[in-house]
Amino acid sequence: MHTVEVSHLAKRFGDIEAVVDVSFAIEPGEIFGMLGPNGAGKTTTIRMMMDIFKPDAGSISVLGGPLDLPKKRRIGYLPEERGLYKDQKLGATLTYLAMLKGLDQKTAEGRLGQWLERFDLTDYRQKKVEELSKGMQQKAQIIATLLHEPDLIVIDEPFSGLDPVNTRLVKRIFEEQRDAGRSIIMSTHQMYQVEALCNRIVLINEGRSVLYGRVEEIKRNFAGNAVELKGQGDFTEIPGVLETRQLNGSWHLALEIGADPQDVFRALANRDGVKIDRFELAEPSLDDIFISVVQDGNHGSEAGHV
Amino acid sequence: MRTIWLVIKHEIYTTLRKRSFWVMTFIMPAILLAFNTYAVIQDSDIGGSEESEAESGPASLPAIGLVDDAGLLKEMPESFPQDLFTPFADEAAAMSALEAGDLEQIVHVPADYLATGEILVYDQEFKLMSSGDDMGIAFGSSSDWVLPYLINYNLSGDESLTVKLRNPTPGSIAEHHVVRPTADAIEGDERVMAEIIARAMPYIYYFILIISSGYMLTSVTAEKENRTVEVLLLSLNPRQLMLGKIIGLTVVVLVQMSVWFAGGALTVGQSSSLLNISAFDFPPGFFIWATLFMLGGYLLYASVMAAVGAIANTAREGNQITWILILPLMPTLMFADKFLTEPNGTLSMVLSMFPFSAPSAMVTRLAVADVPLWQLGVSLGGLALTAYLMIMLASRFFRPHHLLSKSKFNWRRFAAALRG
Distance from CA of B297 to the nearest CA of A (A): 29
Q: Could B226 and A86 be called an inter-chain contact, meaning their C-beta atoms sit closer than 8 Å?
A: yes
Amino acid B50: pLDDT? 45
Interface check B231 vs A, CB under 8 A:
yes
Amino acid B185: pLDDT? 45
State how far the Cα of B151 lies from the Cα of B216, in Å rounded to an integer: 63
Cα B44 to Cα A291, B37, B58, B138: the distances in Å are 84, 10, 10, 11
Q: Is the pLDDT of residue A111 over 90?
A: yes
Cα B419 to Cα A128, B366, B392, B395: the distances in Å are 40, 37, 12, 12
pLDDT over 70 for what percent of chain A? 96
Interface check A69 vs B, CB under 8 A:
yes
With H, G, I as helix, E, B as strand and everything else as coil, classify residue B105: strand
Q: How many CB atoms lie within 10 A of CB A136?
A: 20
Spatial contact of B351 and B357, defined as CB atoms under 8 Å apart? yes
Amino acid A26: pLDDT? 94
Distance from CA of B235 to the nearest CA of A (A): 6
Query: Vertex A227, ends A224 and A232: CA angle to 5°?
Result: 160
Amino acid B77: pLDDT? 82
Amino acid B182: pLDDT? 44
Amino acid A302: pLDDT? 40
Interface check B3 vs A, CB under 8 A:
yes
What residues of chain B lie within 8 A of the CB of A101, using their CB?
235
* ipTM of this complex: 0.77
Interface check B333 vs A, CB under 8 A:
no
State how far the Cα of B65 lies from the Cα of B186, in Å rounded to an integer: 37
Given CA atoms B14, B19, B24, B29 in this order, what sign does their dihedral have? Answer: positive
Amino acid B46: pLDDT? 46
Test mutation, A81, A84, A100, chain B, max B CBs within 10 A = A100
Amino acid B140: pLDDT? 46
Q: Could A52 and B233 be called an inter-chain contact, meaning their C-beta atoms sit closer than 8 Å?
A: yes
Distance from CA of B36 to the nearest CA of A (A): 36
The average pLDDT across A269-274 equals: 86
Per-residue pLDDT tens digits of chain B, which is 420 residues long = 788 999 999 999 988 888 888 888 888 777 767 776 676 566 555 444 444 444 444 445 567 889 999 888 888 887 777 778 889 988 898 888 888 888 888 888 888 888 888 888 888 766 544 444 444 565 544 456 778 888 888 888 887 788 777 777 655 545 544 444 443 445 556 666 667 777 777 888 888 888 888 888 888 888 888 888 888 888 888 888 888 998 999 899 888 888 887 877 777 666 656 555 555 666 778 888 988 998 999 999 999 998 888 888 888 888 888 888 888 888 888 887 788 778 888 898 999 999 999 998 998 888 878 888 899 999 999 999 999 999 888 888 888 888 887 778 778 888 888 776
Q: Could B234 and A72 be called an inter-chain contact, meaning their C-beta atoms sit closer than 8 Å?
A: yes
The average pLDDT across A243-247 equals: 83
Q: Could A52 and B3 be called an inter-chain contact, meaning their C-beta atoms sit closer than 8 Å?
A: no
The average pLDDT across A157-170 equals: 90
Query: Which residues have a Cβ under 8 Å from the Cβ of A198 and sit 6 or more positions away?
Result: A31, A32, A33, A186, A215
Residue A280: exposure state from Cβ atoms within 10 A (0-12, 13-18, ≥19): exposed
DSSP characters for A87-133?
A: TSBHHHHHHHHHHHTT--HHHHHHHHHHHHHHTT-GGGTTSBGGGS-
State how far the Cα of B76 lies from the Cα of B83, in Å rounded to an integer: 9
Sheet holding A16-26, edge to edge: A57-62, A4-13, A16-26, A208-214, A200-205, A31-35, A183-187, A152-156, A75-78
**Cα dihedral B373, B377, B383, B386 in deg (nearest 10):** -150
State how far the Cα of A184 lies from the Cα of B63, in Å rounded to an integer: 89
What residues of chain B lie within 8 A of the CB of A87, using their CB?
18
Q: Does residue A133 or residue B273 have the better pLDDT?
A: A133
- Short-list B174, B144, B166, B140, CA closest to B55: B140
Q: Could A50 and B234 be called an inter-chain contact, meaning their C-beta atoms sit closer than 8 Å?
A: yes
Interface check B96 vs A, CB under 8 A:
no
Q: What is the pLDDT of residues A203-225, one digit of tens each?
A: 999 899 988 999 888 887 777 77
Interface check A215 vs B, CB under 8 A:
no
Interface check B234 vs A, CB under 8 A:
yes
Out of B10, B13, B230, whose CB is closest to A79? B230
Q: How many CA atoms lie within 13 A of A273 on its CB side?
A: 4
Amino acid B357: pLDDT? 92
Q: Is the pLDDT of residue A117 over 90?
A: yes
Amino acid A25: pLDDT? 95
Q: Could A85 and B236 be called an inter-chain contact, meaning their C-beta atoms sit closer than 8 Å?
A: no
Q: Could A83 and B6 be called an inter-chain contact, meaning their C-beta atoms sit closer than 8 Å?
A: no
Interface check A165 vs B, CB under 8 A:
no
Amino acid A171: pLDDT? 93
Amino acid A273: pLDDT? 85
State how far the Cα of B134 lies from the Cα of B130, in Å rounded to an integer: 6
State how far the Cα of A284 lies from the Cα of A225, in Å rounded to an integer: 6
Interface check B37 vs A, CB under 8 A:
no
The strand pair at A16-26 and A200-205 is best described as unpaired
Q: Could B231 and A72 be called an inter-chain contact, meaning their C-beta atoms sit closer than 8 Å?
A: no
User: CA of B14: which chain A residue's CA is closest?
Assistant: A88
Amino acid A128: pLDDT? 92
Spatial contact of A286 and A194, defined as CB atoms under 8 Å apart? yes
Q: Is the pLDDT of residue A285 over 60?
A: yes
Amino acid B53: pLDDT? 43
Out of A82, A97, A100, whose CB is closest to B227? A82
